[in-house]
Each structure stands twice: as C-alpha cells, then as structure tokens.
Amino acid sequence: MHLKLGETSAIVISSPEIAKEVLGTQDPTFAERSGNMSSKIVWYNHTDIAFSPYNDYWRQMRKICMLEFLSSNRLDRLLPLEPMRAAFGKICKDKDTMVKLFQEGVILAAGFELADLFPSFKLLRLFSSNKVKLWAMRRKLDPILDEIIDEHKANLVRMKKDNEVLDQAESIRRGNGELGNEDLVDVFLRDIFSAGTNPPSSTIDWAMVELIRNPRVMAKAQAEVREIFEGLEIIDDTDLQRLKYLKMVMKENLRMHTLVPLVPRASRKDSEINGYFIPANAKVLVNAWEMCRDPKYWTNPESFKPERFENNGMDFTGNGHFEYTPFGSGSRMCPGTTFAIAGVELILAQLLYNFNWKLPEGINADNLDKTEKSGITASRKENLYVIATFYDP
C-alpha cells in the first residue's frame, strides 16, 4: 500500500512474500532507518544503533554490540543475574522516574509532526509542541543516566569482578578506535538502558494478561516450570532451555503482541518490488502486526494457542518465516533479541514458579482490556491488577 503523506511517500508492506524482498533479498537497499524529528531528540540525533544511518559507523556499532555486549558467551555469564542488575550493577534509586520518562519518550517519538511531512518547510520545526516536551524529558532523563554511568565508572576497580555491562563499555572505550570515545559509548549505554526497560516490561505484562485469560495455558506453563525448577538454587541457561512450553508461550505472546508493530525502514535508492517502483528515500513500513495475524498463515489467529509453535521450526529471526518477525529481520534486526528473550523468560518463569495468580473479586478475565497505547512500542494501555499468593511446594 502506498501512502502519500505530505511531501513524503510511505510504503506499507503487509505480505510475508513482499516482506521477504524488503528484509531479505533486497535487505541492503532497504537497510536505511526511517526516523523523524522526535526520534532525533529521543535517540541522540540518531547516533544510537537503532536509528543510526546505514553506514560504516552503524556497522562498527553493531559489531561491537554483537561481539562484545550481547554475544552468547556474555549472555551465559549474565543469566544467573537479574536482567536489570546486568545493566545497572545494582538497583537505581531513580528507577521509577527513569521508567516513566522512557515510556513518555517512546510515546512522543511515535507522533507525526507537520515538519516531518513537509520537510522543505523549515519554519515548521519552530512550532512543535512535541519538540518542547521531548527536550524537557531529555533534561530530566539525562542526569539520571549520567549519574548511573559516572557512579559505576568511579567504582570500576572496586567492583572489577561484578560490574557487567559498564565494564565492557570501558574496555571498548579504551581500545576501539573511532568509536572509542566517551560520548558515543555513553549513547550506546543509553540504548541498552532504554531497550531494557519498556519492551521487556511490556512483554511480561502482555504475557500475564494472556495467561490470566487462558487458565489452561497458565496451568500447563506453571506445571512445567515447577517441575524443572524444583530444588534449584541458581537458574542458568541450561534450565531455561528445558522450558519447552514456556518458550512456545513466549513466541505466541510476541505473535499476538508484537512490540514494534510497524518496523520502520527507508529505501537507499530507486528500486522495484513485485513490479512496483519504490523511489529513493521512501519510508517503508513492514506491518509485522498484520502478518502475525494473517489467517492465510495462522489458524484462528485471534486465539492464544502456544501449541501452534510446537515443532514448526519458527524462531525470532524471521529467516524462512517472514510471517513472524517480532524483532524484525535482516541487517536491522534487533541486536539484543537473544538477551531480551532470555531475560524475559527468566522473569516470567520465576513469576510462574513462585506465585499463584488470580484476578480481584468481580473482574472477569474475558473482560480484560487489551487496548494498546500509542507509541513506537505496543504497550498495554491499562495497568494489570492481579492477586499473587506465594507458592509453597
């Protein structure tokens, strides 16, 4: 579908076959990231790995991310720890404020501005209410992140064996050439903090909503977790890999509640897809939400059925199955996928193991509101209130 938005063109891809062209066959042609005025403010003038232009700088950032921060070896070392501690080293005293500011930024960054639709009218950039709100958010958020990073730097020697991600950043700063400077590494750390805050919490929230709404699935997932975790003091990757049904629950959860429902890309040059001409610099939006609910590929797509992923070979990369791309696919796929999934699975498994869950009196599970917030990520609009009772084996 072609949309003419002011002076800009937007191409919406809702077919897995065409998505394969964009995310696979012609990936380099559509590897540019489509941003806007708001996202430039939130993500530091697009110097972060998510919105950086497709160039040597981005390639180096992604290489560092994949090989240094989010490699399998590093993940194995972090899994016994709480995911938040892996990033912060300890609990952040301003965590509630920080999470609220991250969520505010995600909502504001998704909004369309007239300046984005009519880029030739430079004066429009001067009359933006979002711009004022976003800079106000940045002025509150940056000091919190600066304090976290600076405090950890000051304790590097004392905490040498226990400082996880920030230690790795210091190593990169000392030895990685053009990216070995303070500003860029700090931007990268902010990327990790923001990506590790809103998306995981939203994923867990949606998972609990679906489990509460589907008691059969809840009972089956809890039985598996309690059987495998029984008597264990430390949970590692080996234990998580045994949770076959929980992994299916996670896949089904991300099918129904894809956190980035419209994957934003842009064409780097004139090209052709399925016989249609795509001009250079056109915005290309891959409609992952629609493809994950297409009845051509999914039986009863509105039903929460984790068993649909049993022995079907689908993973989170989209390779070979472009009807399922919850983290994107190709060169711009989320580099933190493995890290994020492991962290969310660990938290969800612990919630299911340690507690029994039910809704407050008078609330029907079928009536739980599943309305989504506006924003880049599809978080749930209403808070979930449930009663937890401790499980005593």
Beta carbons within 10 angstroms of residue 30's beta carbon: 29
- Which H, E and C letters describe 174-219, residue by residue? HHCHHHCCHHHHHHHHHHHHHHCCHHHHHHHHHHHHHHHHCHHHHH
Give the whole-angstrom CA distance, residue 139 versus residue 150.
17
Residue with tokens 């059987």: 227
Q: Give the DSSP letter of residue 23.
A: I
Give the whole-angstrom CA distance, residue 80 versus residue 124.
50
Q: Are 141 and 30 in contact (CB under 8 A)?
A: no
Give the whole-angstrom CA distance, residue 262 versus residue 249.
22
Nearest to 45 by CA among 35, 54, 59, 55: 35
The answer for residues whose C-beta is within 8 angstroms of residue 13's C-beta and 6 or more apart is 19, 22, 284, 285, 286, 287
Residue 371's identity, in one-letter code, is T
Residue 322's identity, in one-letter code, is F
Give the whole-angstrom CA distance, residue 256 versus residue 304.
8
Give the whole-angstrom CA distance, residue 181 versus residue 90.
25
The answer for residues whose C-beta is within 8 angstroms of residue 27's C-beta and 6 or more apart is 330, 331
Nearest to 349 by CA among 203, 221, 234, 217: 221
- Taking phi first (over 0 means left), then psi (-120 to 50 degrees means alpha), and beta for anything else, what does residue 125 get? alpha
Is 292 annotated in a binding site? The answer is: no
Q: Are 337 and 327 in contact (CB under 8 A)?
A: yes
Binding site as annotated, residues: 334
Q: Which residues belong to the annotated binding site for heme?
A: 334
